[in-house]
Structure 1
Amino acid sequence: MTATVELVEHAPATSHAIPDAVGRVLAGGRIAEASPDPYAPGRWLLRAGSKVGAITVTAPTTDEAVTIRIVPKVPIARLFFLLGYNLDPRGSWRDGQVDVAEHRDLLPALAHAVERQIDRALARGLLQGYRSTEATSQVVRGRIREADQIRRRFGATLPMEVTYDEFTTDIAENRILRAAVERLLRLPGVPQNVRRRLLHQRSRLSGVTALPRGYALPAWQPSRLNARYHHALHLARAVLDGASADHAPGGLRCDGFLLDMNRLFEDFVTTALQEALRGTAFTGRLQDAHHLDEAATIRMKPDFVLYGTQSAPVAVADAKYKAEKREGFPDADLYQMLAYCTALGLREGHLIYAKGNAPHAAHRVRHVGVVIHQHALNLDQKPAELLADIAAVGRQMCAGLPV
């Protein structure tokens, strides 16, 4: 039997009857804020943070399971634009290439979108390519691996250790697509009609090697030859990157997909800033590592550091996705940005929030003259308008700066 608990991203805590072991998994895995309800034994207070999606926790000795569904506050269509832009900023995500249909929850929408993109990618058949293969053979094929032949065969002529290039469908691109399909078929909350179509895609990819759990994804390079696979591969990567741990303490099994809205927003803002400044004399570096102190013991990594032609930092920005104004906010962000500006020797810093978290403002720090700007982005507007707002922030960062 499976019980379902629905939470809303950053909504107030609510009380739910769930097993203690499940509550500890949620708290320990930082899936949601979880603590025993002091007024109701056997119940837990659950509050979703920035992670959205669905996860099922199953006990090893019984059929009992609890599915936690965390609904994002951002509309699904807008969330997919942010996700798609992060994966491929020069693609056509804003033109409706990623279809989320009528789904209102993240996981069903993601499964639907991945299946549709794989179907389009495979419309002309499976992509083929050359793959290097090592094998033991009775005949010469390709070239002989002399070191392996000597080490394994002790001078014997046959069989031979050879390596050759094979033209096959069992290549990295197809393996990644199959891995994403297999992962989605194991996740809770995938609608039956989508699941049937995913099973069909798995049958089309049946001749491709299935990747064992925990193995690193094979590398692939975008090219003209695999262009029809690009959208599908980017979404497949999102599925595999967001997969939850398979096992939890106490022998419990976890299956699910969780997306961190904090990370999603930060990646989107910094990627969009980098794209907005493309073609100018400035370059942006993401997660640029620096140190606060002279002894280089206190490390800091601003989300975005802008450089001019002199290879010195000229501006710094940090993206903050927060759903409510809590105690100490935005003071902690301002202190953090002041530290960035001080260590980088800059007179201005920029904090970029999702709208509703902080008004647009500028704060001049006493005695040092550092100005910290706060920008607010409206995530509900059209993609073109959202990108235009980020481009405006980029122009403000560059205004009056020496190249």
Structure 2
Amino acid sequence: MTVVELGEHAPAVSVRLPDAAGRALAASRIVDAAPDPYRPGSWRLRAGSKVGVVALPVPGGDPVTLRITPKVSIARLFFLIGYSLDPRGWREGRVEVGDHREVLPALAHAVERQVDRALGQGLLQGYRAVEDSALVVRGRIREAEQVRRRFGAALPVEIAYDEFTTDVAENRILRAAVERLLRLPAVPRDVRRRLLHQRARLAEVSPLVRGRELPVWHATRLNSRYHQALRLARVVLDGSSPEHTTGGLHVDGFLFNMNKLFEDFVTVALREAFRGTDHACRLQDPQHLDEAGEIRMRPDLVLYGPDGVPQAVADAKYKAEKSDGYPDADLYQMLAYCTALGLPEGHLVYARGNAPHTAHRVRHAGIVIHQHALDLDRAPADLLGEVRSLAGQMARVGQTAPDATV
């Protein structure tokens, strides 16, 4: 087996790979991949914002496993995930990752531990609507179906009833997540053994059909012990999972998109900072740049004041500031948001920067664009404190003096 180790946004590396594997990686867009012009038979690979692991079985050769490690620590990564999923129920250390230092092993460990806790008191039971054909009447008769399918025959009877069963949405989601993890590469042997045990506990639950919508569940007091496990299961089932065939090769794995994860954390944390105030936050708020409504925009977060009028706009960017500053395109995008919403200020939130805050006043417009940098290496409580400070600044429109002009 060929194992390729890459770092998130690290410099490109030259790796000897079969052409079929290199083409599959290039087509999948998991990483930037191109033949190395200076080393025949090698490919230059560079990871972007996707972290995790993928496997490529190569016909006639050794399989290739690609591992991409995040810049932030595994513990910090799962704090971002846990808080985004459940900000009010989050507690530091709630999502256990064990001693694992890679994304997929840590995720598999965390899911298995939460599933074990959820099933500790036995499988959840609930009522499920069932439609069936039977020789005895149970529940109610579906008269229209009886006429349409039986043409006046008395038996069998088309019936509908509520069945009290363990085959409910919550258990089906947990089983699907466990089975998904068991199909992935790089899950440690001890974790895989425990996942097999959890699958055995869920053996009587119907499997989900791959490709179909996940069943809907609602958080209640009765399923409270399942909440954390279900949210992590959703991460597994909704994650960027490159399962497809490219150039004759099946690419399988699990990836986190750090851009999306950072965006989710920032917007959820800002929304929580304004909870209980007279302000309201709308995430991914659909807007239009032009009066005809043809040019669509979707800012990450728009803050509305007590009068229901937009007061501030924020956009999260998972980019570290370079020596020549942040990309100018981000400023142009925020200027468009502020202009369309009629706002005097806008806020760009980055993962890290050389200064915690800078601001720019746009010439002939009077619009101030703020650039904030969050330090993801800080302790969770301190990081959330930075977000609350940002929220306070967003609520004080026009009170921060800019230090630059664009």
TM-score by length of 2: 0.95
Aligned match of 1:10 = 9
- The counterpart of 2:187, out of the listed 185, 190, 206, is 190
Aligned match of 2:252 = 255
In structure 2, the CA distance between the partners of 1:289 and 1:139, relative to structure 1 (3 Å rule), is: same
- The counterpart of 1:317, out of the listed 308, 314, 318, is 314
Aligned match of 1:279 = 276
Distance in 1 (alpha carbons) for counterparts of 2:337 and 2:236 = 34
SS at match of 1:125: coil
- The offset of 1:51, in angstroms, is 0.2
Residues 14-34 of structure 1: CA deviation (Å, up to 9, x unaligned): 001112222222222221111
Instruction: Give the aligned residue type for 2:216.
Output: A
Aligned match of 1:159 = 156
Distance in 1 (alpha carbons) for counterparts of 2:260 and 2:116 = 29
Identity of aligned residues (%): 67
Contact 1:358 1:374 in 2 (8 A): no
Distance in 1 (alpha carbons) for counterparts of 2:190 and 2:269 = 35
* Structure 1, gaps ≥5 residues long: none
Aligned match of 2:67 = 69
Aligned match of 2:112 = 115
Distance in 2 (alpha carbons) for counterparts of 1:293 and 1:359 = 33
Distance in 2 (alpha carbons) for counterparts of 1:22 and 1:328 = 36
Distance in 2 (alpha carbons) for counterparts of 1:243 and 1:366 = 41
Distance in 2 (alpha carbons) for counterparts of 1:166 and 1:375 = 54
Residues 176-203 of structure 1: CA deviation (Å, up to 9, x unaligned): 0000000000000000000000000000
Distance in 1 (alpha carbons) for counterparts of 2:143 and 2:26 = 54
Question: Is 1:28 paired with 2:27?
Answer: yes
Distance in 2 (alpha carbons) for counterparts of 1:35 and 1:336 = 31
Question: Is 1:56 paired with 2:48?
Answer: no
Aligned match of 2:352 = 355
Contact 2:319 2:352 in 1 (8 A): no
Instruction: Give the aligned residue type for 2:47.
Output: A
Distance in 2 (alpha carbons) for counterparts of 1:348 and 1:144 = 62
- The counterpart of 1:168, out of the listed 160, 165, 178, is 165
For these two proteins, the number of residue pairs brought into alignment is 399
Aligned match of 2:403 = none
Residues 32-80 of structure 1: CA deviation (Å, up to 9, x unaligned): 1111111112111100000000011224x54632111000010000100
Distance in 1 (alpha carbons) for counterparts of 2:293 and 2:4 = 46
- When structure 1 is superposed on structure 2, of 359-368 and 389-398 the one drifting more is 359-368
Instruction: Give the aligned residue type for 1:123.
Output: G
Question: Is 1:307 paired with 2:301?
Answer: no
Distance in 1 (alpha carbons) for counterparts of 2:144 and 2:27 = 49
Contact 1:57 1:254 in 2 (8 A): yes
Aligned match of 1:141 = 138
Aligned match of 1:231 = 228
Aligned match of 1:44 = 43
Instruction: Give the aligned residue type for 1:158.
Output: L
SS at match of 1:335: helix
Instruction: Give the aligned residue type for 1:312.
Output: V
Residues 146-192 of structure 1: CA deviation (Å, up to 9, x unaligned): 12111111111100111111111010000000000000000000000
- When structure 1 is superposed on structure 2, of 385-394 and 317-326 the one drifting more is 317-326
Contact 2:24 2:247 in 1 (8 A): no
Contact 2:321 2:352 in 1 (8 A): no
- The offset of 1:325, in angstroms, is 2.5
Residues 267-288 of structure 1: CA deviation (Å, up to 9, x unaligned): 1000000010001111010011
TM-score by length of 1: 0.96
In structure 2, the CA distance between the partners of 1:62 and 1:215, relative to structure 1 (3 Å rule), is: farther
Distance in 2 (alpha carbons) for counterparts of 1:309 and 1:293 = 26
In structure 2, the CA distance between the partners of 1:324 and 1:58, relative to structure 1 (3 Å rule), is: farther
In structure 2, the CA distance between the partners of 1:157 and 1:126, relative to structure 1 (3 Å rule), is: same
Distance in 1 (alpha carbons) for counterparts of 2:325 and 2:351 = 17
- The offset of 1:386, in angstroms, is 0.9
SS at match of 2:175: helix
- The counterpart of 1:84, out of the listed 82, 85, 88, is 82
Instruction: Give the aligned residue type for 1:240.
Output: L
